[in-house]
Amino acid sequence: MLHWISIVLFVFVVSAFLAGILIPKILLVAFRKKLFDVPDERKIHTCAVPRLGGIAFKPVIFISIALTLGISLSLGHTEIIEVLERNAKTLAYSYCAIMMLYLVGMADDLIGVKYRAKFVIQIICSLLLIAGGLWIDNFHGLFGIYELPKWIGYPFTVLVVVFIINAINLIDGIDGLASGLSSVALLSYGYSFFLSQQYGFAIFAIATFGVLVPFFYYNVFGNAEKGRKIFMGDTGSLTIGIIICILAIKLYNSHETYIDNYDPFALAFSPLIIPCFDVVRVFIHRTKLKMNPFEPDKSHIHHKLLAIGMKQRPAMVTIVSFAIVFTFGNLFLTKYININLLLLIDVLIWTIANIWLSKQIKKKNQTVQ
């Protein structure tokens, strides 16, 4: 146990250290080549900010994992090879999916990619995960449904993967929000995998969390006027999105084998409630107004908090805090409450919170008028 704790801590330190070195270099290149995210009427920032922070994510994650693997083997610890061998197929296909979305995100940040093309690539990546054995084959009693045949489970998994990837991408609207929410999920997954003795995926989750720590610092506390601020861009949000999908589905599928007393749905998807619920609400809102549901606007949860007068940082802290409450609250209550009732409670809380925010916005606008 102590050996695995030291490995997890080591991969975190290496990942955070390498990202801390690489991100300032990316900032330098971005300013020299004038690669900026330019402000417009929909965006919150007021001056040009580089959006290439996500370029650091994939290389740092995989280098830190590879270095940890190499050092462990050099010290005679071969257990890690056994861990990787058990999941070789899943990891191989997952690597391909991560690489594809990383490259698509980079292309989108540099030259732009049409959303239809991105959807196609996301579907292909979903199919790669299914080929690697990551697909939802059981609802474990959610909506009264249990085992799923492949002809339902495969397309449903594609839908879930595409949905989560875009939820992470769309929530990236204010400083620190996407990285903060992703960090909550990654820490939850890392801890769950560690407890279930799935150390390979625990290392993967914590290495990913490690790269987000220095990014969060530059994104939230960096001074844009001094050239010290950076966004993750689509490279980052798509990469983090597919990694979270891999970890969530793996944890969901491995529940019965390793983790008792927790509902697999709550364990895997509670950390994603806020980005996922927000996408559903925004989709319904845009559809009701006969707007294109895929066109960006200012109706996300963070826009609502800003509209009632909150500054960016308090809004981000509020949303991330609610994500923590949802995650641990659901995990605690799932021992005592049926998952269907728990999901209904989550939806009611989310709905009431949004109704309250809408009323506060309306009241504030009337006061201004």
Question: What are the structural domain ranges in the chain?
Answer: 2-368
State the average pLDDT over residues 36-57: 70
Q: What is the 3-state secondary structure (H, E, C) of 249-303?
A: HHHHHCHHHHCCCCCHHHHHHHHHHHHHHHHHHHHHHHHHCCCCCCCCCCCCHHH
What Cα–Cα distance (Å) separates residue 270 from each residue in 294, 324, 343, 345, 346? Answer: 25, 9, 10, 13, 10
46 confidence band (pLDDT: 50, 70, 90):
low
pLDDT of residue 368: 63
For residue 200, report the phi and psi dihedrals to the nearest 5 degrees: -60, -45
**3-state percent helix, strand, coil for the chain, nearest multiple of 5:** 75, 0, 20
Q: What is the identity of the amino acid at 175?
A: D
State the average pLDDT over residues 134-156: 91
For residue 36, report the phi and psi dihedrals to the nearest 5 degrees: -120, 160
Q: What is the identity of the amino acid at 310?
A: M
State the average pLDDT over residues 29-33: 79
For residue 37, report the phi and psi dihedrals to the nearest 5 degrees: -95, 110
Considering only residues 350 and 46, tell me which one the structure prediction assigns the higher pLDDT.
350
Q: Are strands 49-50 and 36-37 parallel, antiparallel or unpaired?
A: antiparallel
Whether pLDDT at 130 is above 70? yes
pLDDT of residue 257: 47
Exposed, middle or buried, 264 (CB in 10 Å: 0-12/13-18/19+)? buried
Categorise residue 174: left if φ over 0, alpha if ψ from -120 to 50, beta otherwise: beta
336 confidence band (pLDDT: 50, 70, 90):
confident
Residues 124 and 140: their CA atoms lie apart, in Å, by 27
Contacts of 270 (CB under 8 A, 6+ apart): 188, 326, 327, 330, 331
pLDDT of residue 341: 93
Considering only residues 213 and 263, tell me which one the structure prediction assigns the higher pLDDT.
213
pLDDT of residue 47: 62
Contacts of 1 (CB under 8 A, 6+ apart): none
pLDDT of residue 296: 67
State the average pLDDT over residues 223-232: 81
132-136, 217-221, 239-243, 290-294: the lowest-pLDDT one = 290-294
